[in-house]
Amino acid sequence: MNYKLEQHVKVLVTDKLDQTAVDVLNDKNYQKPLIVIDSFLLTTEAIKNLFVALKSNNKDYAIFDKVIPNPPIELIDAGAKFFLDNHCDSIIAIGGGSVIDAARGINIVRHLGGSIVDYAYDKEITNFCHGLIAVPTTSGTGSELSNALIVTDTVNNEKIAVLSNETVSEVAILNPELALSLPKQLTISTGLDAFSHAAEAYTSNLSTPVVDAICEKIMFLIYNYLPKATHDGQNREARERMMVAAALGGWVLNNGGTHIGHSQAHIIGAKLGIPHGQACAYALPGTLIATASVKSKKVKEIGYILGASFPENVTDEQIGEITAEKYKDFRDNVLGLVAFDTLNIQREELLALSDEVKNERFAGNSPFKLTDELIKELMQHFG
């Protein structure tokens, strides 16, 4: 049976990260976690309290704080060696998508050996890689529930994916306190990344009725709570709702996938240095317009979630254009994402990447035929 809705990660929402983490370690009988963490978090009160709680409960730990955005192959392999050298038995990943992706990669290699790049191309992951406890500090990637990790090949300057249901987190801990100080632009871009996860899973070839319902709720939550989190970062309710939406967004990736919007983000982001969430947000308007030609009912529903209205006898083309414009208004005016025009990227640079976008791993999930002409048209809408 090819089931299309699976969720293997245990999820906790808590105000007490320190005690919750200790409880999880005790429940799993883990004694020495490797803390994979953004280095700037080490001085925060929540993390200091976590370390105190670990020590007071006789839990030893090692710290790996070398993760950088878009983690490269070499870093993940080095992290796995560090794990083994320090005789750890589990991982607590605390940070954004790059940290959780790196931790997932470390967990794979420490279990199965070799290099993380092996599992992108050749080696199949057949056994569950237990021991990953994910604690997100942003609300976007959904890595805490996702079955995929993105790693950077610095030699070829490209992002590659490792995809397996056997690599998901064992436990995800959602602690809204960790997101309260997230900067405005990072709040916007990560939130729009989660919106893209839902919009693309909703319209991909892999979508199912159950996935669709979850995607609709994710988009609803983001439309209603991302502006509040953006304009008042201390709004705890908004931060919690966004954490939940992002986690669900990671879940639907496992079941519905993404398509040509994320293909653009992966290729263009890696080649031209655009942060992933921003790149997804720039790619979505064109993706919606193209998708409306084959899935106009769903694109219209996205438009309704965004507050759009449609005239009687509206055409599929108009549905795409109206929904795309409503999304851009939400992105640019309601939220205030940094404008693409400020990045000093020439349109010719985008068009030069057309073939790579067309052949990117997730492009095949697109609900329409990917012709050279269509890809170039998408590149014209990017931004």
Domain shared by 175 and 191, yes or no: no
Residue 173 and residue 25 in one domain: yes
Q: Contact at 8 Å (CB) between 151 and 160?
A: yes
Please name the amino acid found at residue 240.
E
Q: Which of 274, 291, 290 is nearest to 282 (CA)?
A: 274
In the chain, the number of structural domains is 2
- Alpha-carbon distances, residue 313 vs 109, 143, 310, 318 (angstroms): 55, 41, 9, 10
Q: Mark whether 149 and 208 lie in a shared domain.
A: no
Same domain, 226 and 342: yes
Mark which of 125, 154, 179 sits at the end of a domain.
179
Q: Which pLDDT score, from 0 to 100, does residue 1 have?
A: 66
**Predicted confidence (pLDDT) per residue in 68-94, tens digit:** 988 999 999 999 999 999 999 999 999
pLDDT in tens, 123-164: 889 899 999 999 999 999 999 999 988 888 888 877 788 989
State the CATH number of the domain containing residue 22: 3.40.50.1970
Structure tokens at 196: 């893209």
Report if residue 209 sits inside a domain.
yes
Shared domain check, 372 and 226: yes
Structure confidence by residue, pLDDT tens digits, 246-301: 999 999 998 899 999 999 999 999 889 999 999 999 999 999 999 999 999 999 99
Report the CATH number at residue 219.
Answer: 1.20.1090.10
Identify whether residues 213 and 170 lie together within a single domain.
Answer: no
From 113, 146, 179, the end of a domain falls on 179
Q: Are residues 207 and 90 in the same domain?
A: no
- Tell whether 2 is covered by a domain: no
Q: For 342-351, what is each residue's pLDDT tens digit?
A: 999 999 999 9
Q: Are residues 192 and 280 in the same domain?
A: yes
Domain that holds residue 361: 184-381
pLDDT at 361 > cutoff 90: no
Sign of the C-alpha dihedral, residues 32, 38, 40, 46?
negative
pLDDT tens sequence across 90-124: 999 999 999 999 999 999 999 999 999 999 887 88
Q: Is residue 137 part of a domain?
A: yes
- Which of 133, 155, 179 is the last residue in one of the domains? 179
The pTM score is 0.93
